Amino acid sequence: MSVTINAHQLSRLIDKTISHMASEYVEPLHGIRLDVDAKYVYAVASDRYTIAVARYQLNHGDQQQEPWARTIPAEYLRSLREWIQSMEGAGLITISTAKDRLIFEGPQSDLSIAVTPGLEFPDWRGLLRKMVEQTVEGELFPCLNSGYLSRFNTGDILRVRFTADEKPAVVFAEDFIGALMPARHAGVYPCKEETFEGAHKSWLWTLAAGSTDASLDGAAYEEDRPLYDVTTDIRETGEALLQQTLRSGWDMSGKSTEKRDEFLAHCLAAVNGWTAFRYLDALYNVDPRAAAAVVAEVAGELESGEIGDFAWDAAEAAGFDPEKWHSEYDARLKAVEKKPAA
């Protein structure tokens, strides 16, 4: 099974979808899905929050082949892009499957990539089919310049209000309001399909092959992070601190006070979790950017596993005597060891 596409078009397919891949903790979605049917070759990526599909129409001679699909793992995309960039844009690339490999054959060199043939990937045709078919007939179908959308990446959760066709889209967030002018405002109408019906029709052949009950729900697409993985996202950090506080409180209430060490450990975890959350929340309200920077910096320190050294240095920098603390702690442990059991 093989398909032929020029280097420029293959590069465009990757560039249009690579930002939508999931992290390494969602293996089935950590890459770009190369999907081929009788009319098109598609590049598909999703992180469960967004989904992107780019397509290239095949030459007539390729339209008799059997459909196939493979996921290009994210770790190989950099080498693939570099290989594509090493040739002329018009150079033809033949992509074929061979057991657990995707083979890219160029005019002067070849590239082979290891893939997992049976790796599960969501029914993207079905997902988009459901979304498109849920659209109410006659709804607005504004034309926006995608290059301007990135300017609203402020880290906020945005709400969007489409006022009318050929009118600005208004965006709202906490203490923020903005507007994005329609593409037609510049005096040029770059949208190929002027109506929703026209756009839907151009994808109807593709989406009709999707299931009507497709879903991204299920264990296959859940994050498989290590138990103590550290996040750099400020909202996730706040959530983790609140969870720690509540879970420690629940564990504390379920433990007998006779198990003093275990009980005190849960008390300490609950107190520290709540204290850290309150400090983070206060810092965020004063300076959100500073809060985000601190969370990212602390995440790096935790990942390094050297927080004991960092704490010692911080104590000395603040004018304290960590050596004295250590001596007092050792003396307290020795006193406990010598104390006869009750």
Handedness of CA 270, 276, 280, 281 (dihedral sign): positive
The mean per-residue pLDDT over the stretch 256-282 comes to 84
- Identify the pLDDT of residue 256: 55
The model carries a pTM of 0.72
Which residues 6+ apart lie within 8 Å of 298 measured at CB?
A: none
- The answer to whether 246 touches 275, Cβ cutoff 8 Å, is no
Q: Going along the chain, which residue ranges are E strands?
A: 2-6, 31-36, 40-46, 51-57, 68-73, 92-98, 101-105, 110-114, 159-162, 169-173, 176-180
Domains of the chain: 1-136+195-225 (3.10.150.10), 142-192 (no CATH), 234-338 (no CATH)
Q: Give the list of residues 6+ apart from residue 114 with CB closer than 8 angstroms, or none.
A: 73, 76, 100, 101
Q: Identify which of 142-151, 163-172, 203-212, 330-339 has the greatest average pLDDT.
A: 203-212
pLDDT of residue 329: 87
| Coil vs helix vs strand at 306 | coil
Q: What is the pLDDT of residue 227?
A: 60
pLDDT-derived band at 136 (thresholds 50, 70, 90) equals low
Is the pLDDT at 266 greater than 70? The verdict is yes
Report whether pLDDT(54) > 80.
Answer: yes
Task: Please tell me which of 58-62, 63-67, 247-251 the model is most confident about, judged by mean pLDDT.
Answer: 247-251
Residue 186 has a pLDDT of: 47
pLDDT of residue 70: 94
CA distance 247 to 255: 12
Predicted confidence at residue 185, as pLDDT, reads 47
Residue 333's nearest CA partner among 325, 258, 322, 262 is 325
Q: Return the pLDDT at 258.
A: 60
Q: For all residues of the chain together, what is the average pLDDT?
A: 85
pLDDT digits (tens, 9 = 90+) for 10-53: 999 999 999 999 988 898 999 999 999 999 999 999 998 899 99
The answer to whether the Cα torsion of 144, 146, 151, 155 is positive or negative is positive
Extract the tokens encoding 230: 């550290």
Residue with tokens 């007998």: 256
Question: CA 116 from chain center: how many Å?
Answer: 21
- Stretch 84-109: mean pLDDT, rounded? 91
Residue 80 has a pLDDT of: 95
According to DSSP, the residues that pair with 101 across neighbouring strands are 98, 114
Q: What is the mean pLDDT of residues 82-104?
A: 91
CB atoms within 10 A of CB 113: 19
- pLDDT for 66 equals 82
Q: 301 or 252, which is more confident?
A: 301
| Chain segment 148-158, per-residue pLDDT in tens | 888 888 777 88
Strands 92-98 and 31-36: unpaired
More confident residue, 224 or 298: 298
Residue 57 has pLDDT above 80, yes or no: yes
Angle at 18 between CA 12 and CA 21, to 5 degrees: 155
Q: How far apart are CA 242 and CA 280, in angstroms?
A: 11
Q: Would you say 308 and 269 are in contact if contact means Cβ atoms under 8 Å apart? A: no
Mean per-residue pLDDT, 104-127: 92
pLDDT digits (tens, 9 = 90+) for 198-246: 888 889 989 999 988 888 887 778 877 766 677 888 888 998 899 889 9
